[in-house]
Amino acid sequence: MQELQLGNITIDVEKKDIKNIHLSVYPPNGTVRIAAPESMELDTIRVFAINKLKWIKKQRATFKKQVRETPREYIEKESHYFQGERYLLNLIEQNAKPKVILKHKTMELYMRPNTTIAKRKSILDEWYRAEMKKIIPSLLEKWEKKIGVKADDFGIKLMRTKWGTCNIEAKRIWLNLELAKKPLICLEYILVHELVHLLERNHNDRFMRYMNEFMPKWRLHRDELNRLPFRHTDWKY
């Protein structure tokens, strides 16, 4: 991994076996990365980045203004979210297997006495993962049919800088666990985005045409997702 410095902006540069150069700015801190063909000179990459500097600054400013969630403490009456809806956490101690139940506007967390904060988080994360696994197969079937592609597998994990990724060779899609907390259409948008990568690897004009064809309002869904608060994180980028 190489670095470019444009003023106070550091750009991570990774050379890959690809045909086109690709620029990304990632939330929450506006990390800038460029993927470039292995044969491309660093000076050429620098010129490309300079030409995109206005766009880079705009994206970083958007992320800087975005609301951040406060750290979760997993205590009574704390706010938690599922599919864009707010629930108040209700802690219920019992000597039985932990579980989570949604009841009206309450998220009931059944746990053993003296359960630590770390364990409470783990219980909720596993519940979010299980709920996503229930939802995704039907969404995949719907969009695979519409787009005309087939993903061989999908996975769910907590990702630092991306809402989703697509391993094109393995035809495997990964989705960020945090999407369980966002409105369902946001999850659908990311799923469509990654499926379209099975038709076009890069975020080029062809990719945009596919997105416009299959999900005409994708920009509205993207903007909705980007307006929502980021999860609090102590990660360094």
CB 188, CB 170: distance < 8 Å: no
Show the CA angle centred on residue 139, arms to residues 135 and 142, nearest 5°. Answer: 150
Task: List pLDDT tens digits, range 215-235.
Answer: 999 999 988 887 766 553 332
Task: List pLDDT tens digits, range 144-194.
Answer: 999 999 999 999 999 877 899 999 999 999 999 999 999 999 999 999 999
Which token pair is 70? 């406060």
Q: Domains in the chain and their CATH numbers? A: 2-65 (no CATH), 79-227 (3.30.2010.10)
- Percentage of the chain with pLDDT > 90? 70
Measured CA to CA, the distance from residue 210 to residue 192 in angstroms comes to 10
Checking if the pLDDT of 62 tops 80, the result is no
- Residue linked to tokens 């000076």: 43
**In this predicted structure, what is the pLDDT of residue 68?**
60
Average pLDDT of the segment spanning 112-117: 95
Find the helix or strand (DSSP H, E) in which 142 lies: helix 117-147
Categorize the per-residue pLDDT at 69 as very low, low, confident or very high, splitting at 50, 70 and 90: low
Average pLDDT of the segment spanning 26-30: 72
Checking if the pLDDT of 29 tops 80, the result is no
Region for residue 34 given its phi and psi (left: phi exceeds 0; alpha: psi -120 to 50; beta: otherwise): beta
